[in-house]
Amino acid sequence: MKALVCEMCSSNDVIKQDGYFVCQSCGTKYSVEEAKKMMIDGTVEVQGTVKVDNSAFVEKYLQNARRAKQKEDWEETEKYYNLVEQNDPTNIEAIFYSSYGKAKASLVESDLYKRQAAFKVLQNCVSIIDDNFDLAKAEENKKILEEISADIFMMACSNYVYNQRKNGYGVITWTDKMETVTLFNNLGKEFMVSLEHIAQKYSDAEKQNRKYYYELALKHAEFILENGSLASPQSFRDIIMTYHRWIHDIDPTHVVPAEAPKAGNKQTPDGCYVATAVYGSYDCPEVWTLRRYRDNNLGKTWYGRIFIKTYYAISPTLVKWFGHTEWFKHLWKGKLDRMVTKLQVKGVESTPYEDRNWRN
């Protein structure tokens, strides 16, 4: 007697439900008689066209994938998004995140070649997002693009392991840090190209719809110019000006700057940017608690000050572009609520507070 294997997708994950044997991968149902025949003969004759509704399985796998991503369990993230992609090959969320987890995990390993391979796969996935972008689902897909965009930004701003060499005096003489920066830049550039291709799917009569995609691509171009340590930044300054002109052609009220910003033109103001965006005010109990913890705890240690500086390098840009969106606030509110509660339990007050100079 042979094992019970689904004839539609070759999965052996087939279980009995409500009097039928149901494939857990694609949703195909078999009667008891058909299942017996499959186990004895190994085949069941299927006549005509069979259309399988696997939307319930796709949704289940999406929920599991999103939950794993939220927990930063990259192995599970990859597993469940792969299952989504197998059942819905045109799902752009699955196309990107099925490879995102492996690229993210590679950042904590010192093997540069493994990292380059993971990013190459992810970059290839980004390159086909436009091929699978359905204009009929544009509003739904825009939300996915915004999440992908934010994750590309945050990945490029995250810490990562890199190799270095020191001379006999302990002075660093070489690192491979820039190789990873190049991977971030290439990923951002590929996403820009994919956004351009999506925009071009709209006819000239619908060109107003192109504006959204050009604006999102412009943000990535500006980010790479500012953070990408480019050897030849002028080409990106030209790209930025091109996007401005394209947006102006669609919306004449858009102001085209006289010139693109200079490379690496960063601002470093202080402030609880993400918390302010989430809670709606710089002066509220939750933010007062976080500001106290920053000044009185994090600011007292060298590693705490590194964290603060990293936060100020990343958060202004993220809040500028995404702080007004509901998904961004939802993403951070639960994390911040838990953190504030823990700090208050430890005795950090939530009363009105005036900032102190944590650099001293």
Which carries the bigger pLDDT value, residue 228 or residue 107? 107
What residues contact residue 156 under an 8 Å CB cut-off, 6+ apart? 184, 187, 188, 223, 227
CA distance 18 to 14: 13
42-99: pLDDT as tens digits:
555 555 555 556 788 899 999 999 999 999 899 999 999 999 999 899 999 999 999 9
pLDDT beyond 90 at 264: no
pLDDT of res. 39: 59
- Among 131, 271, 303, CA closest to 200: 131
What residues contact residue 42 under an 8 Å CB cut-off, 6+ apart? 2, 5
Return the percentage of the chain with pLDDT > 70, whole number: 89
pLDDT of res. 313: 77
> With helix as H, strand as E and coil as C, how does 269-297 read?
CCCCHHHHHHHCCCCCHHHHHHHHHHHHC
**Backbone phi, then psi, for 176, in 5-degree steps?**
-105, 25
Residue with tokens 């504030």: 340
Mean pLDDT of the chain: 85
Q: Provide the CATH topology of domain 1-53.
A: N-terminal domain of TfIIb (2.20.25)
pLDDT beyond 50 at 1: no
273-323: pLDDT as tens digits:
888 888 887 878 898 899 999 988 888 888 888 888 888 877 877 787 777
- Among 66, 70, 103, CA closest to 83: 66
In angstroms, how far is the first alpha carbon of the chain from the final one?
76
108-130: pLDDT as tens digits:
999 999 999 999 999 999 999 99
Maximum Cα–Cα distance for the chain, whole Å? 79
pLDDT of res. 269: 46
Q: Measured on CA atoms in the order 145, 147, 152, 156, is the torsion positive or negative?
A: positive
Tokens encoding 223? 């980010």
Tokens encoding 157? 């701003």
pLDDT beyond 50 at 268: no
**Range among 13-17, 203-207, 325-329 rated most confident:** 203-207
pLDDT of res. 261: 84
Concatenating the DSSP letter of every residue in 216-243 gives HHHHHHHHHHHHS--SSTHHHHHHHHHH
The helices-and-strands tally (H runs, E runs) of the chain is 13, 5
pLDDT beyond 90 at 186: yes
The H or E element that residue 14 is part of is strand 14-17
pLDDT beyond 70 at 341: yes
Question: How many C-beta atoms surround the C-beta of residue 243 within 10 A?
Answer: 23
pLDDT beyond 90 at 267: no
Domain boundaries, the chain: 1-53, 55-201, 273-345
- Among 120, 131, 55, CA closest to 92: 131
At residue 149 the predicted structure's pLDDT band, cuts being 50, 70 and 90, is very high
Which carries the bigger pLDDT value, residue 27 or residue 199? 199
152-185: pLDDT as tens digits:
988 888 888 999 998 887 778 889 999 999 999 9
Neighbouring-strand partners of residue 30:
21
Q: Provide the CATH topology of domain 55-201.
A: 1.25.40
